[in-house]
Amino acid sequence: MNILSQNTAFGGMQGVFSHQSEVTGTEMTFAVFVPPQATQEKRPVLWYLSGLTCSHANVMEKGEYRRMAAELGLIVVCPDTSPRGNDVPDELTNWKMGKGAGMYLDATETPWAEHYQMYSYIIEELPALIAEQFRADMSRQGIFGHSMGGHGAMTIALKNPDRFKSCSAFAPIVNPLTADWTQDAFEKYLGADRAKWREYDACALVEDGARFPEFLIDQGKADSFLETGLAPWKFEEAVKGTDIGLTLRMHERYDHSYYFISTFMEDHLKWHAERLG
């Protein structure tokens, strides 16, 4: 693991690191905030997954999580959203596909399958590195994210309920099978058989029997992607009749930006801290 930067913030450490990933076959960059309490004991880990076009840096620079994470004693890990590098396939004119748009899935189709293995990277390789390098209590993990990252957080939680104790999302893509900004990418990554897409779709996973105790979703009503890309009411409908708890909060005037995310960031950190103990 290479140290790219380390800065003191609220008594803790905000770092940016890189390592050579065997899963993606590329160098991967990620950010970690370590709270001051970690000098004395292992602390819970909260994963934040970013959205389309983003990297580890967006939430680190604009998410405003450090003060509350330091107060609550949470380690916050912010991975990149895709593999990077000159040899990594991309669509330069399509921001919904390729670099910055890994969709938190394991691609099966050429040429994407060689590097775009973001699900395995988030679930297997990066957690092992975090456990090795930081004073992290891996028995207490939560996950949240924004937009594409909200989709990633919810699907990963539903598929790994024994790993994660909490999950929340800002403006998540809850139903990629029908969302206008994911169908093209899913077909290129996973092929034309839409049945294979279901394991990376929160609504479909619930319909197919996946379970997780509860979710918190915050959504802005002024979000330009609300109707055709996000549609959180579809997940609300999917969990009806199940034992899955859902707190869905719709907010007047808020859009899809980090102004929205930073406004409700403390609510989400407290939500996770209560459930991580």
Catalytic (active-site) positions: 147, 223, 256
Name, in order, each residue with C-beta under 8 angstroms of 244's C-beta and a sequence gap of 6 or more.
206, 211, 212, 213, 214, 215
Q: Return d(Cα 225, Cα 27) in angstroms, integer.
A: 32
